[in-house]
Amino acid sequence: MGLKGFVEGGIASIVAGCSTHPLDLIKVRMQLQGEKLHAPNPQPVQSLRPALAFHHPSATVPTTTLHVPPQVAPPLRLGGPISVGVRIFQTEGVAALFSGVSATVLRQTLYSTTRMGLYDVLKHKWTDPDSDQFPLLRKISAGLIAGAVGAAVGNPADVAMVRMQADGRLPAAQRRNYASVVDAITRMSKQEGVASLWRGSALTVNRAMIVTASQLASYDQFKEMILEKQVMNDGLGTHVTASFAAGFVAAVASNPVDVIKTRVMNMKVEPGAAPPYSGAVDCAIKTIRVEGPMALYKGFIPTVCRQGPFTVVLFVTLEQVRKILKEF
């Protein structure tokens, strides 16, 4: 308990994060689909005068008014997770599926290590010593607290990860081309100020609270139910079943906040220009107005496809690491 819980959670989180990184990248790309479907403003009407070979002072010069129709952006090619993944592979290469993996490692080291370790500390503190029970309400409360603290610590790495994953979808001239997570954080600090490292932090904290409370609490709850009803023994089958169910619950609960968080973190703020979104609420309103309410569940399939394996790898690795570290 104590420091041991942080080490166990950190190792399991890094393994899970790296192994499911391509799925997370596809999810981010899908969440940004349709973000720039706004047509530009119509061009002003132009008045054209035909050239006259011989101009007479008393001659009336005819004027022709030409209406120039607005240029409509070509429709964005939307697709499912498989087609998005194939498109990334074809246009950017297989290495693009691991864009931002250095940021993922840093994010899991900061964010997940903190939330997993703190949840473990609260779990031991709040477990009833007489009945050895950890009620569901306390599990949720522990998850909310652990998620909030972890997100606040890991937000800079989260912003860097989103930007590095999304960079390949931009035209070559507009790409940020961060060399690594250190380069991303350094350049953001210099070009946009240190505060930019905590852009979208309110959303990150909210999402982390939802994910941690739903993921960790539901895993413990599903695992207890399986063992109490003697459906399976405390082994790999129980761990996989409970973790996959926990991953699905976390995906359903967190996807809307995740979409808004991704867009706010990824927005490009030009010097002297108003940002595309003034905040989370503004981003949500604009997204729903332009793309409909179901836009908040963009990337849901890859979210489930990522949360399921991520949660399975996370908790299966965690259980194995606990067994190994028990000997020390």
Check residue 306 and give its pLDDT: 79
Greater confidence (56 vs 73) lies with 56
Greater confidence (154 vs 171) lies with 154
Of the pLDDT bands very low, low, confident and very high (cuts 50, 70, 90), residue 81 is: confident
- The three-class DSSP label of residue 152 is helix
Greater confidence (302 vs 209) lies with 209
- The three-class DSSP label of residue 6 is helix
Greater confidence (66 vs 233) lies with 233
Check residue 27 and give its pLDDT: 83
Greater confidence (37 vs 323) lies with 323
Give the whole-angstrom CA distance, residue 200 versus residue 148: 13
Residues 32-54: tens digit of each pLDDT:
877 654 434 444 444 444 444 44
Residue type, 215: Q
Closest by alpha carbon to 197, among 150, 100, 265? 265
Indicate if the pLDDT at residue 197 is higher than 60.
yes
Closest by alpha carbon to 224, among 211, 212, 241? 241
Of the pLDDT bands very low, low, confident and very high (cuts 50, 70, 90), residue 7 is: very high
What 8-state DSSP symbol labels residue 111?
A: I
Alpha helix ranges (H) inside the chain: 3-19, 21-31, 81-92, 101-107, 113-126, 136-166, 181-192, 201-228, 236-266, 280-291, 300-326
Greater confidence (113 vs 36) lies with 113
Closest by alpha carbon to 123, among 220, 247, 208? 220
Residues 202-258: tens digit of each pLDDT:
888 988 999 999 999 999 999 999 999 999 999 999 999 999 999 999 999 889 988
Check residue 262 and give its pLDDT: 83
Closest by alpha carbon to 138, among 153, 117, 124, 152? 124
Indicate if the pLDDT at residue 188 is higher than 80.
yes
CB contact at 8 A, 185 and 197: yes
Give the whole-angstrom CA distance, residue 153 versus residue 198: 10
Give the whole-angstrom CA distance, residue 114 versus residue 1: 14
Of the pLDDT bands very low, low, confident and very high (cuts 50, 70, 90), residue 79 is: low
CB contact at 8 A, 261 and 209: no
Give the whole-angstrom CA distance, residue 298 versus residue 290: 13
pTM above 0.85, yes or no: no
Closest by alpha carbon to 37, among 278, 291, 277? 291
Percent of the chain surpassing pLDDT 70: 85
Give the whole-angstrom CA distance, residue 205 versus residue 211: 10
Check residue 299 and give its pLDDT: 80
Check residue 211 and give its pLDDT: 92
Indicate if the pLDDT at residue 325 is higher than 90.
no
Indicate if the pLDDT at residue 72 is higher than 70.
no
Check residue 311 and give its pLDDT: 93
Give the whole-angstrom CA distance, residue 165 versus residue 98: 8
Considering the chain, what is the average pLDDT of its residues?
84
Give the whole-angstrom CA distance, residue 89 versus residue 5: 38
Check residue 36 and give its pLDDT: 56
Greater confidence (47 vs 108) lies with 108
CB contact at 8 A, 116 and 10: yes
